[in-house]
Amino acid sequence: MKLVIGIVRPEKANDVLTALYRAEVRGVSLSRVQGHGGELDRVETYRGTTVKMGLAEKVRFEIAVSDEFVEPAIEALCEGGRTGEVGDGKIFVVPLERAVRIRTGETDHGAVTPVDA
């Protein structure tokens, strides 16, 4: 059981969702985050004030999956999120200790397997 964290461009979030859906990875959380990963800074000017925008808007996917879905999830994130330019984002995979589905009390593998309903 792993937690796959993908940080992607906001404009690619829809493509990533589509790719995840096609890979039959269900059950995702996403949040808007700001970050910096070595891409070019944007320069903006507000009246007389010129600033370098150090943080870029990103979307962070968090996907808890059983081991056999780790590779499909990573592939979907890469396929949906890639533009080839600096700033496409990162994927982190971390081990998951426990997972509980609140409705049923199912744990671990049962909790991260989507129900067909």
Partner 1 sequence: MTGPPQLVAAAQVNAGDTAWMLIATALVLLMTPALGLFYAGLVRSKNTLNTFMMCVAALAVATVMWAIVGYSIAFDGDGPIIGGLGHAFLNDVTFEPRDGTTIPHLLFMAFQATFCIITVALVSGAVVERMRFGPFLIFAALWSVLVYAVLAHWAFGGGWLIEGGTLDFAGGVPVEMGSGFSALAAALVVGARKDYGRQALLPHNAVYVLLGAGLLWFGWFGFNGGSGFSTGNSGVLAFTNTLLCPACTLVVWFALDLVRGRQVTAIGAATAIIVGCVGITPAGGFISPGWAMALGALAALPSYAVIVWRPRTRVDETLDVLAAHGIAGLTGILFIGFFAQNSWNGVSDGLVYGDAGQLGWQALAALAAPTYAFVATFVILRVIGLVMPLRASEGEEALGMDVVQHGEEAYVTGEGAVLMPTAPDGERPVKEPV
Contacting positions for partner 1 (CB under 8 A)? 9, 11-12, 14, 34, 36-38, 40-46, 49-55, 83, 85
- Min dist CB 52 to partner 1, Å, is 5
The closest alpha carbon to 6, from 79, 92, 94, 95, belongs to 92
Going by their DSSP bridges, the two strands 49-53 and 29-35 should be labelled as unpaired
Separation between Cα atoms, residue 83 and residue 106, nearest integer Å: 39
- Min dist CB 30 to partner 1, Å, is 16
Alpha helix (H) ranges present in the chain? 13-22, 70-81, 109-112
Written as one letter, the residue type at 39 is E
Of 29 and 45, CB closest to partner 1: 45
- Min dist CB 48 to partner 1, Å, is 9
Of 54 and 114, CB closest to partner 1: 54
Of 31 and 46, CB closest to partner 1: 46
